[in-house]
A and B are shown apart, each in its own frame.
Chain A
Amino acid sequence: MVLTQKLHEAFKGTVERITAPRTVSAFKEKGVLSVSEFVIAGDNLVAKCPTWSWEAGEPSKRKSYLPADKQYLITRNVPCLRRAASVEEEYEAAGGEFLIDNDDNNGWLATHGRPKETNSAEEENLPSMETLEINKCRGIKPISSYLGGEEEEDIPDMADFEDTENLVETDPATLQPSYFVTHEPEDDNILRTRTYDVSITYDKYYQTPRVWLTGYDESRVPLKPELVLEDVSQDHAHKTVTIEDHPHLAGKHASVHPCRHGAVMKKIIDVLMSRGVEPEVDKYLFLFLKFMASVIPTIEYDYTMDFDLGSTSH
């Protein structure tokens, strides 16, 4: 990890230890969530999109300010059929901006990364993304470079065993589909689908949800976090997506850094309010996940919004 990032993490950790979690709602004013609002919004996400679940996580990593059985949210085995880099052109065509709302022809675009608008005093205290360097990962590596198999040891596979009685390969009632290949196939017609576990934690420092990505290759072996950057919009892969320790899961995972989340959520909320929609805090995660889809456009997680975003006041 880069030193500046480490220093920031240490600073953030200290601040998190000595500050009480937010209890007063500042959802409309700052786009942030209190702990109890995070739980309310999470409950609603789980109820409306049942592929999401609350998790208790490891007891040793539990945050006391969250309910023991509601430490973070996760949806598993989400397909990612193509690399985000392959949709890069579409993205560039949009000018590196993302569409927050185009329900009517009144679409609204927001810049991200380094917004030009005036910073409030609070925002100036936040580290800029420039200081949070991450490994450059320009070239797309072959899909076979995962956490598995760097050294080739000569372990015989089932076919080498004399007694083949237990072999699924020779069992007439077993069908091995072609996508079970564990090596780079030459035939490009084989569907090689990465999958993701997408988790959402509560970031006490930024007072917003935070998205984490755990990738798996087509044979369900965990991907190195660096390879996950191939599935992040390239505009973000070098800025807002960092590789850090997950607060509840083991190991390093790619994460969309939350330093701008509050500001962007505030803008989304402002737009809704200007259109006469009173946003409700339990819908926060639907808006948030729609916003995240601009960062990870090819990971097909569920954030269905087939209902009102809030109560329409007029």
Chain B
Amino acid sequence: SSDSSSERQILRFIPFQSSADEGFWRRLSSLKLDTLGLDQSPIPITGEFFSFLSACFYAPCSHPQVPNPLKLMAESLPDDPLQLVIGNRNKCPVPGTLYNTNTLESFRALDKDALLKMEARKVKSLDFSIFDDIISGKADEDCAVLSRFLLISFADLKKWTFRHWFAFPALSLEPPATLVNIQPASKVFSSEEAKSLSRACNEWRNSNMTAGVPFFFIVIASNAQVTIRPLKDWEAFHGDGEKLLFGFYDPCNLPSNPGWPLRNFLAFICLRWKIENIQFLCYRERRGLADLELSLVGEAVVLLPQDWRSPCCVPKAVGWELKPKLMNLAASMDPKRLAVSAA
């Protein structure tokens, strides 16, 4: 549908990489064994699986060679689900939901399309969804909800294997956003602006209050002074000829394209703030400091999809990874194999 002869260049986003470590699967195993039991489903959505609220973590790209993955680790499944997940500058929390099935058959049978749609738009009043969080203003207060993940899994505790499949739900703009231009941030700013922007970014990243806040807007005054503001300040902000940029922590390392979090951020900006011509900053670091050679500045044109104006619209979403993954922890978790290796 996209490769017609039209001149418009579609803005293309690099999907998140996912990475789940051993600690996460061990936590899931002990939750299943100790808390939930193998056969009973105390908090089922259907009889086929449990759902858990969970948190992934990511950070801005900080090495030009590698993107920064979304990581699941032991603390992604806290003992107390109401416990606040605390991140730090290298571990910004991303909320998500885990659906763990009891059998391989139900893992295969999960309706991935329906699960993703539920992320985009709520079905029941208890669900939270990207679209609702944007129009309700929740994302203004807690911008972490703009990135999220879905994980479906089948934890086979007889074989100690963990089949899993990630999705990074993103609202799909129709028509897609158009790229006007994109280039290294170092080529865009005057040296005064660049210095002030780096300083402001480093201050944002070093403050405990803002280090884990991955979306923000940047105001560059005519005297080159840069200030970074949280999204909730937008309502009270009255532009006075300053340059405006919408910034986000970009996990992607490529010089040509922005990473996945920008997708829902653009949807947020056009849906909530009705801006169509959007200047954005893909914020990236080197050695933990702002790096304007790696960071990108781009301009995109976003048209609010017609049906998004309707109060009952169910927006299209994308985000499943192409393939499921398999983690095999038999060598380190199977009591029989451990007994043999210890003998």
Nearest residue (CB) in B for A253 is B22
Main secondary structure of the interface of A (DSSP, over half): loop
Knowing A155-B163, A166-B113 are in contact, say whether A251-B88 is a contact too (CB < 8 A): no
Chain A residues, Cβ within 8 Å of B17: 180, 219-220
Give the chain A neighbours of B108 by CB distance below 8 A. 155-156
Q: Judging by beta carbons under 8 Å apart, are A79 and B65 in contact?
A: yes
Q: Which of A53, A54, A172 has the most CB of B within 10 A?
A: A172
Contact A300/B63 with A147-B327, A167-B320, A173-B263 known, Cβ cut-off 8 Å? yes
CB-based nearest A residue for B68:
A77
Judge whether B207 is part of the interface by a CB distance below 8 angstroms.
Answer: no
Asked if A221 is at the interface of the complex by the 8 Å CB criterion, the answer is yes
Q: Does A131 contact B (CB under 8 A)?
A: no
Q: Is the Cβ of A166 less than 8 Å from the Cβ of B112?
A: yes
Choose from B14, B91, B167, B326 the contact partner of A177 (Cβ within 8 Å): B14
Contact of A174 with B by CB under 8 A: yes
Which A residues are in CB contact (< 8 Å) with B322? 157-159, 168-169, 176, 180
The answer to whether B66 and A50 have CB atoms under 8 Å apart is no
**Contact residues in B for A165 (Cβ distance below 8 Å):** 113, 316
Nearest residue, chain A, Cβ from B73 = A249
Q: A221 and B327 in contact (CB under 8 A), knowing A51-B287, A58-B74, A173-B10?
A: yes
Size range of the chain B interface in the assembly: 35 or more
Q: Across the interface, which residues of A come within 8 angstroms of B79, CB to CB?
A: 59
The reply to whether A6 and B66 form a contact with Cβ atoms under 8 Å apart is: no
Identify whether the interface residues of B are mostly helix, strand, loop, or mixed.
Answer: mixed
Interface flags, B1-23, vs A, CB<8A=1, else 0: 11100000011111101110111
A216 to B11, CA, bound (A): 30
- B325 contacts A148, C-beta separation under 8 Å: yes
Q: A172-B2, A180-B17, A220-B19 are in contact. Are A50 and B316 (CB under 8 A)?
A: no
Interface residues of B in 128-185 (CB under 8 A from A): 161, 163, 167, 172-173, 176-177
Chain B positions 64-83 with a Cβ under 8 Å from a chain A Cβ: 65-66, 68-69, 71, 74-75, 79
User: Within 8 Å CB of A30, what residues of B?
Assistant: none
A313 to B335 CA separation, bound complex (whole angstroms): 58
With known contacts A166-B318, A167-B320, A182-B323, A77–B163 Cβ distance under 8 A: no
Q: Of residues 174 to 226 in A, which have CB atoms within 8 Å of B's CB atoms?
A: 174-177, 180, 182, 191, 193, 195, 214, 216, 219-222, 224
CB of B89 within 8 A of chain A?
yes
Which residues from B are CB-within-8-Å of A214?
Answer: 21
**B13 close to A173 (CB less than 8 A):** yes
Q: A155-B163, A173-B176, A251-B23 are in contact. Are A191 and B65 (CB under 8 A)?
A: yes
Could you say which residues of chain A place their CB within 8 Å of the CB of B74?
Answer: 58, 249-250
A250-B113 contact given A49-B288, A180-B17, CB 8 Å threshold? no
Is B198 engaged at the interface, CB distance under 8 Å to the other chain?
no
Given known A-B contacts A168-B322, A195-B66, A53 and B90 have beta carbons under 8 A apart: yes
Contact B323 A158 (CB under 8 A): yes
A289 to chain B: closest CB distance in Å?
A: 13
Complex Cα spacing A53 to B288, Å: 11
Q: Is the CB–CB distance between A6 and B22 below 8 Å?
A: no
Asked if A249 and B15 sit within 8 Å, CB to CB, the answer is no
Q: Are A6 and B320 in contact, CB atoms less than 8 angstroms apart?
A: no
Q: Nearest residue in B to A163 (C-beta to C-beta)?
A: B113
Q: Could you tell me the distance in whole angstroms from the C-beta of B74 to the nearest C-beta in chain A?
A: 6
CA distance A157 to B332 in the complex (A): 28
A-B contact pairs, 9 of them (CB 8 A): A58-B74, A76-B59, A148-B326, A151-B328, A158-B322, A171-B318, A182-B325, A221-B327, A222-B21
Query: Nearest 8 A-B pairs (CB), nearest first?
Result: A50-B288, A172-B2, A220-B19, A250-B23, A175-B12, A251-B22, A173-B176, A157-B323
> Can you add 19 more A-B contacts, CB < 8 Å, to A167-B318, A168-B322?
A51-B62, A53-B88, A75-B90, A149-B326, A151-B161, A155-B163, A166-B112, A166-B113, A168-B318, A172-B3, A173-B177, A174-B13, A180-B17, A182-B325, A219-B325, A221-B327, A222-B22, A250-B74, A304-B287
